[in-house]
Amino acid sequence: MKRFKLFFVLLILVLVSLTFSQAQIKINIPLPPVLKNIIITPKPTQFDVDIWMDKPEGSTYNFGEAAYFYFKTNKDAYVAIYEIRPTGEMVLLFPNKYESNNYVQANKTYRVPSVGASYYFKVAPPSGKYYIQIVASTKSFPLMAQFKQMSLQFTFPKISDNAQSFIEGKLNLELESVEEWSSDMTYFYAGTTAQTGKVTFKSSPSGAKIYLDGAYIGNTPKNNVTVDAGTHTITYYLAGYEPYTKTLDVQANKSYVVYASLKTEKATVRFESIPPGAGIYIDGSYLGSTPKDVKVTPGVHGYEIKKSGYQTKVGTFSVNAGDYKVITVTLSTNNGVVVFESVPSNAKVYVNGSYKGTTPETETLTAGTYSYRIELEGYVPAEGSFTLLPGETKNINVTLTPVQQNPTVNFNSTPDGAQVFLDGVYVGNTPVGLETTAGYHEYQMYLSGYPMKSGNFTVEMGETKEINVVFVPQINKGWITVTSEPTGAMVFINGELKGVTPLSGYEVAPGVYEVVLLKPGYKVYIKAITVDPGETEEINAVLTSF
């Protein structure tokens, strides 16, 4: 029976007459896999795969009974076969350590285990319903390669403790990107007999293909089909109509009717734009942003593609039911670029009265006419207007005229009272401010009990310069901190033992020191350091063992 989803079944391996003990281990998972969450029912394709057992589907196997399964593809393909146990566990059955070649030939029937193989399968507890799933692809994909690698490392490796989580979260997602793949499923009962109900399948219009748990079973109408008790997923396909899917809980000895009034299939239109991220409007309604697949009813529709800073694209298209159409538009920018530069630079730029930054400043603006103002303290502002066209880059360069005002410099110190010399001339004690000339200047500041401070600065016309100095008292000592890995090394400073690591904040006079670390079983560590006044020199040593 044909299946298009990912399932799994419990089978216990026996090598010749030795039971494979690992398969006897029971994992306590309270809930079985949810069938509707592990079924894929794709539209029919040209690539097909079938799997069946040595008994009819849904048969009961007694504990200890040998079991075989068979499969066939209609194209050369890579295959993987798994089981899904009632506990929800997934175990890889093929490929395996004994039969590792999973690239099979088209239209050839394979048996697992193969005839003459050195192993066989034997059904074992617990009782319940089990699924066997085969997945086939004409080209390998990462998970298929991973299954092959697992089969080489382990006899029958467990893929997951939770089939539903693995299939929904990993396998289904990866299959979405596989170009050509198919799957099939069969099932059996171990140590128990199936209970069944009856289901009648109908649709309007009739003739829809019926997929029961991913398996094609015929076309509507189809009456009184025997179905195992439990949860099932039913899908109808009819060309020109949207697929219909329903979950049905079948109880033993009861009858059900699954009826669907099929809706006319919509068309799919994929909108793409350069650049992406444009709004999609169809018949005036916003439906998302590019790139995106949009479902529409058959017929003629109008569209608009809008993006801020670009000209809107307008058009129409016509689609039939089931069509897939791609509409790609290249948006023309509605913006231009204006570059503001000034001499001197760092002037503030205002466009239509709004602050934009300091020169040099590049702005992207919608095409139009704008006013600008460029201003810098101590200079006469430059003003004007410009017109920007779509796609245009405009340069606005101005040379600012200085306002004739002498610059000011303010000297401050902590603590106050320092003598200030500007360009070699005494100008007062801090805090002190004075006017000076534009250009380069040098200064010295003296405060009793502190080292002299000096520096230079450049000042422009109209500028106010702040010189702030913090005097730090002369310190005639420093510190040494030594750590080691491992700890406990003896620390010698200039040949004298000062302690063991970690040694923190050992006070010394400023100068040059030789630090030696000794620890039994480790090589001698030696480092020369210079300790500056008021500074802490740190040594972080990693000792090397003999």
- For the stretch 202-238, pLDDT in tens is 999 999 999 888 778 899 999 999 998 888 889 999 9
What's the N-to-C CA distance of the chain in angstroms?
71
Instruction: Read off the DSSP letter of residue 448.
Output: T
Per-residue model confidence (pLDDT) at position 27: 26
User: How far from chain centre, in Å, is Cα 176?
Assistant: 17
Rounded Cα distance, 50 and 2, in Å:
6
Looking at residue 3, what is its pLDDT? 40
- Over residues 368-383, the pLDDT tens digits come to 899 999 999 888 999 9
| 22: pLDDT strictly greater than 70 | no
Q: How confident is the model at residue 533 (pLDDT cuts 50, 70, 90)?
A: confident
Task: Print the SS3 string covering 411-442.
Answer: EEEECCCCEEEECCEEEEECCEEEECCCEEEE
CB 311 within 8 A of CB 288: no
- Close Cβ partners of 356 (under 8 Å, ≥ 6 residues apart): 340, 349, 350, 363
- What single letter denotes the amino acid at residue 76? D
Q: Which of 396, 402, 385, 401 is nearest to 360 (CA)?
A: 396
Question: Alpha carbon of 411 to those of 431, 445, 449: distances in Å?
Answer: 6, 9, 19
Task: Pick the closest to residue 237 from 38, 43, 39, 36 (CA basis).
Answer: 43
Dihedral over alpha carbons 387, 389, 393, 395 (to 10 degrees): -10
| Res 21 pLDDT > 80 | no
- The mean pLDDT of the chain is 87
Helix (H, G, I), strand (E, B) or coil at 473: coil
- With CA atoms as reference, report the closest residue to 158 among 110, 112, 90: 90
Rounded Cα distance between 497 and 490, Å, is 7
* Bridge partners of residue 67, in order along the sequence: 121
Given a cut of 50, whether residue 265 has pLDDT beyond it is: yes
More confident residue, 27 or 479: 479
Give the pLDDT band of residue 12 (cuts 50, 70, 90): very low
Segment holding 499, helix H or strand E: strand 496-500
Is the pLDDT at 16 greater than 60? The verdict is no
| Nearest alpha-carbon partner for 126 in 86, 68, 175, 155 | 86
In this predicted structure, the answer to whether residue 36 has a pLDDT above a threshold of 50 is no
The pLDDT, as a whole number, for residue 43 is 58
The pLDDT score that the predictor gives to residue 504 is 93
What pLDDT is recorded for position 25? 27
- pLDDT one-digit tens code per residue, 123-170: 988 888 888 999 999 999 999 999 999 999 888 999 999 888 888 888
CA–CA dist 519, 408 (Å, integer): 63
Sheet holding 324-330, edge to edge: 292-296, 267-274, 324-330
Cis (ω within 30 of 0) for the bond into 291? yes
Q: Is the pLDDT higher at 451 or at 458?
A: 458
- Report the percentage of the chain scoring pLDDT > 90: 61
Mapped onto helix, strand or coil, the DSSP state of residue 426 is strand
Decide if pLDDT at 482 tops 50. yes
State the average pLDDT over residues 294-313. Answer: 91
Evaluate whether 364 touches 341 at the Cβ level (below 8 Å).
no
pLDDT at 41: 56
Spatial separation of the C-alpha atoms in residues 362 and 266, rounded to whole Å: 47
Q: What is the full DSSP assignment across 138-163?
A: SS--HHHHHHHHHHHHSSS-EEES-H
Q: Which of 132, 130, 255 is nearest to 196 (CA)?
A: 255
Assess contact for 443 and 450: CB atoms under 8 A: no
Higher pLDDT pick, 487 / 11 = 487
- 308 pLDDT more than 50: yes
| Total number of residues shown for the chain | 546
Residue 485 has pLDDT above 90, yes or no: yes
Smallest CA-to-CA distance from 11 within 22, 1, 3 is with 22
- Distance, in Å, from the CA atom of 65 to the CA atom of 352, rounded to the nearest integer, reads 88
Compute the average pLDDT of residues 494-513: 93
Q: Give backbone dihedrals phi and psi of 95, rounded to 5 degrees, phi first.
A: -70, 160
Give the mean model confidence (pLDDT) for residues 498-523. 93
CA–CA distance, 49 with 72 (Å, rounded to integer) = 6
According to DSSP, residue 242 is labeled: -
Q: How far apart are CA 491 and CA 518, in angstroms?
A: 7
Res 38 pLDDT > 80: no
pLDDT for 169 equals 84
pLDDT at 45: 72
